[in-house]
């Protein structure tokens, strides 16, 4: 580590300015870099061998077990560490709780061709997602249920948006993630023997009556517009989440969770019956 | 409606400035007023006879069925309407999609004493919640499962935060909502014969093995700190959501949804068996 006396204290430093520019989606997409803020987030990135380009550290702000562990892991990784003042770290960090470390990482590959379905797949497809926070919550749920993969179909946010990383608590690195057009995603599912189960408010069958115990993908539409016509396809099985109140839809990450945990429940039953 | 020629076009107008100040929590708490932005949100407020103090309208921006219907309902309600220019509306509105109407409402009462448990209650208690978006998503889920009430125990956000209203899509007005201390909330549950089912990462029993079909409350801790010691009580039944991945917890609104939809599933089974 650089001694604190050598810490960068000027927000005008070129490396600091370059990191601040990564708050902008276009800059992230042009450079292939993004920001990881937070101890657990960084630990999970390192655990998946995500490439750390460099990291900014304000040693006096590294407090807490997760942040300390991620600093240790960063040092072992050999990534260049740049000591900065608290003021400079605050410029680079985002969110309400900074833990003294912000890493600049190379965004992992998200090619659908590289995605493995694995045995007995449980996949999530989310179309035209707009809000990074919703993607993060979906990754976290996918991690919790042991999902095989998440496919972002025609996303309207960059998937490695720093807020998506943060909302995922780093699970965006541990759950396989791919980007594709909606029609490629559907072809991929069919080609891998995965039944697409699409959540639609107008579907006839309630999800609890559907067979979610097999090789399936839960397919969810955007917050604003629902699913596009790509999913009006005889190969797609529509289900509905019964709604008993004033509203006719759920938050997209909540809908994903309801269907994924039901799939998980049916798999447990199937396993018990078969085993 | 005021003709457009009379529309307020100055952000320095005192009523406009007063509305802009309502973005601040302290101002909302001092005045007992808050902002409702969005057609569906306003329709649901009006359906529950929420008191509209006044509303700002930019007629040329009122596009779409929900916004038009809420403007009609506002006009019928007799609430004072103030025509403003697009620039002024943009100052008052928040969120990414304004629909041309922002209402200033009197925040509804949230006294626990006034809350009715109703028959076969299904209640949600959420402790020390910090993020308005999570409260909104929880209200939306509570509405969807037909929950009896939501109790915000020691909330760290004001529950009628405009972002909570927006994230709830207005269901914050249709689902009974109360605020209380955690210990009052627990006493209320016990006094009404409602079993508190607390979600804890360290609980022995998986939620799927628990009886969630009776009169229950799902109790959830804060995003950061989990549940306080108030819920370490022999009258509280802890359950765990099994986690199969890298992370050990879910987004709080996702955890609420998993448990509430399982409660709803068990109730349907119970009804079928008993009926």
Report yes or no for ipTM above 0.85. Answer: yes
Q: Which residue has the tokens 């207005």?
A: B170
Percent of chain B with pLDDT over 90: 89
Nearest CA in chain B to A255: B257
* Chain A residues closer than 8 Å to B170 by CB: 246-247
Least confident of A38-52, A208-222, A259-273, B162-176: A259-273
State whether residue B260 is helix, strand or coil. helix
* Chain B residues closer than 8 Å to A252 by CB: none
What is the pLDDT confidence band of residue A42, given thresholds at 50, 70 and 90?
A: very high
3-state helix, strand and coil shares in percent for chain A, rounded to the nearest 5: 40, 20, 35
Residue of B237, B254, B157, B153 whose CA lies nearest to B196: B237
Q: Confirm or reject contact between B222 and chain A (CB < 8 A).
A: no
The pLDDT tens digits of the residues spanning B33-53 come to: 999 999 999 999 999 999 999
Q: Walk me through the domains of chain B, giving residue ranges and CATH numbers.
A: 4-106 (3.30.1330.30), 112-274 (3.40.1280.10)
Rounded to an integer, what distance in angstroms lies between the CA atom of residue A199 and that of residue A95? 32
Residue of B30, B74, B41, B69 whose CA lies nearest to B173: B41
* Chain B residues closer than 8 Å to A171 by CB: 245-247
**Residue A61 per-residue DSSP state:** G
The vertex-B182 CA angle with B176 and B188, nearest 5°, equals: 55
Q: Do B262 and A257 touch (CB under 8 A)?
A: no
- Whether residue B3 is predicted with pLDDT greater than 50 in this model: the reply is no
- Whether residue A2 is predicted with pLDDT greater than 60 in this model: the reply is no
CB atoms within 10 A of CB B274: 7
* Across A119-136, average pLDDT: 96
Q: Do A144 and B208 touch (CB under 8 A)?
A: no
- Whether residue B98 is predicted with pLDDT greater than 90 in this model: the reply is no
Q: Note whether A212 and A196 are within 8 A (CB).
A: no
Q: How far is B88 from chain A (nearest CA, A)?
A: 25
The pLDDT tens digits of the residues spanning A43-98 come to: 999 999 999 999 999 999 998 899 999 999 999 999 999 999 999 999 999 766 67
For residue B190, the surrounding DSSP H or E stretch is helix B182-191
State residue B269's pLDDT score: 86
- Whether residue A22 is predicted with pLDDT greater than 50 in this model: the reply is yes
Q: Confirm or reject contact between B140 and chain A (CB < 8 A).
A: yes
State residue A1's pLDDT score: 47
CB atoms within 10 A of CB B15: 16
């Amino acid at each position: 580590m650089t001694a604190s006396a050598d810490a960068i204290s000027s927000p005008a430093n070129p490396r600091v300015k370059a990191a601040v520019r990564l708050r902008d989606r276009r800059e992230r997409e042009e450079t292939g870099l993004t920001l990881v803020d937070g101890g657990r987030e960084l630990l999970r990135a390192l655990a998946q061998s995500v490439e750390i380009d460099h990291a900014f550290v304000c040693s006096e702000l590294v407090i807490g077990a997760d942040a300390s562990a991620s600093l240790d892991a960063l040092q072992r990784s050999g990534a260049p560490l740049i000591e900065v003042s608290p003021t400079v770290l605050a410029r680079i960090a985002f969110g309400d709780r900074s833990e003294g470390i912000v890493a600049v990482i190379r965004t992992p590959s998200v090619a659908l061709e590289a995605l493995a379905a694995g045995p007995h797949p449980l996949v999530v497809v989310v179309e035209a997602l707009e809000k990074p926070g919703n993607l993060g919550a979906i990754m976290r749920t996918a991690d919790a249920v042991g999902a095989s993969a998440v496919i972002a179909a025609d996303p309207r946010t960059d998937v490695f948006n720093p807020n998506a990383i943060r909302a995922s608590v780093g699970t965006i690195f541990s759950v396989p993630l791919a980007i594709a057009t909606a029609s490629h995603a559907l072809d991929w599912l069919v080609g891998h023997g995965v039944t697409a189960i699409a959540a639609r408010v107008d579907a006839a069958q309630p999800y609890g009556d559907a067979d979610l115990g097999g090789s399936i993908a839960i397919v969810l539409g955007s917050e604003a517009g629902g699913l596009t016509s790509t999913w009006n396809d005889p190969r797609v099985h529509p289900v509905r989440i019964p709604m008993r109140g004033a509203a006719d839809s759920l938050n997209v990450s909540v809908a994903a969770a309801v269907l994924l945990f039901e799939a998980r429940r049916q798999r447990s039953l199937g396993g018990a019956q078969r085993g």
